[in-house]
Structure 1
Amino acid sequence: MKYANLALLVLLPIAWFAPLLRAALLPIFGMDEISVITGLQSLWGTDPGLALLVTFLAIFAPFAKILGLALIHFGLLSPKTLPTLQILGKLAMAEVFLLALYIVIAKGAGYVTIETAWGLYLFTACIAASIFIAHKTETS
């Protein structure tokens, strides 16, 4: 489990820059790819409060949880901190970011075409794997 968790330390940042979806006002104008990072950049320009919340939930909470689990796996952090890491895991909800992203898209367009991209699957898999690894760490 500890090596799977370490892999998440590499995969999660890749998922932040990977395209989550492609969106266009009309399909004939071409599709813009939206990643976690580009979505956050857009949010910072329109709603800094929501951007701060989403930055914490989509970036800091999952990465802190994965780092904490790695420290537990290598004996550098007490397993007593696992409940706190579980709380971080609950805060690290990809849906919160996606909901905020859809709000930004919906604010600016009436006729939007949206296609999912491979980054959405990678980001979702990273969050799901983190939850699974935390569960296995707790039971072992």
Structure 2
Amino acid sequence: MILKWGNLALLVLFPLAWIAPLAHAGLLPFFGTSQITVLSGLRTLWQSDVALAVIVAAFALVFPILKTLMLSGVHFRLLTRRALPLLALLGKLSMADMFLIAVYIVLAKGVGVGRVEPGWGLYLFTACVLASILLTFATMRQVRR
């Protein structure tokens, strides 16, 4: 029961994490704003590199929500256990965006223009991804029993 509710909570928490500040930037010319969110980062990326923006959107938005919806399908017995390998793959793809965000922060600090401090949204987004991984793992163990 807790797996179902925890997973359903992610359907609310992921979109909240997309609009929450991932980082606060002081004088950062790449993003044109003092707060960086997943959506503002995608908007900025869209203006300079559409292909990369589509790839990042898939990893940061589509894969995590798709995985969460599929896991709900398993919880509510709408999907069979044959969906579990696909869930594991989506989990790995969803985690890749955390690396990308970390690279953005490191690059911004390395440029030496202004300062970048992580925002609460980065922690929320990380917690959502980690919770999703744990919920998937626990669900797989439960289904295999």
Shorter-chain TM-score bucket reads 0.7 to 0.9
Instruction: Name the % identity.
Output: 44
Deviation at 1:104, TM superposition (A): 8.0
SS across alignment from 1:75: coil
1:100 Cα deviation after fit: 6.1
Q: How far does residue 120 in structure 1 lie from its aligned partner after superposition?
A: 0.5
Question: What's the counterpart of residue 62 of structure 2?
Answer: 60
Matched position secondary structure for 1:92:
helix
1:83 aligns with 2:90: no
Q: Find 1:98's aligned residue among 101, 109, 119.
A: 101
Q: Is 1:131 equivalent to 2:133 in the alignment?
A: yes
In 2, distance between residues paired with 1:99 and 1:115? 11
Which digits, 9 at most, give the CA deviation of each residue in 1:65-115, with x for residues without a partner?
Answer: 000000100011111111001101100023244156448857xx6513101
Q: Name structure 1 gaps, 5 residues minimum.
A: none
RMSD after superposition: 2.1
Kindly provide the amino acid, as one letter, of the partner of residue 10 in structure 2: L
Distance 1:7 1:25 in 2: 35
Decide whether the 8 Å contact of 1:43 with 1:104 is kept in 2.
no
C-alpha displacement of 1:50: 1.2
TM-score by length of 2: 0.85
CA distance in 1, matches of 2:80, 2:132: 18
1:51 matched to which residue of 2? 53
Structure 2 unaligned regions, length at least 5: none
Relative to structure 1, the CA distance from residue 49 to residue 103 in structure 2 (aligned partners, 3 Å threshold; closer, same or farther) is farther
- The two structures have a TM-score, normalised by structure 1, of 0.88
Query: What is the CA–CA distance in structure 2 between the aligned matches of 1:112 and 1:24, rounded to whole Å?
Result: 5
Is 2:27 the counterpart of 1:22? no
Letter paired with 1:48? V
CA distance in 1: counterparts of 2:76 and 2:24, whole angstroms? 39
Total equivalences in the alignment: 135
| Runs of 4+ deviating beyond 4 Å | 102-106
Counterpart for residue 111 of structure 1: 113
For 1:104 and 1:16, the matched residues in 2 are separated by 21
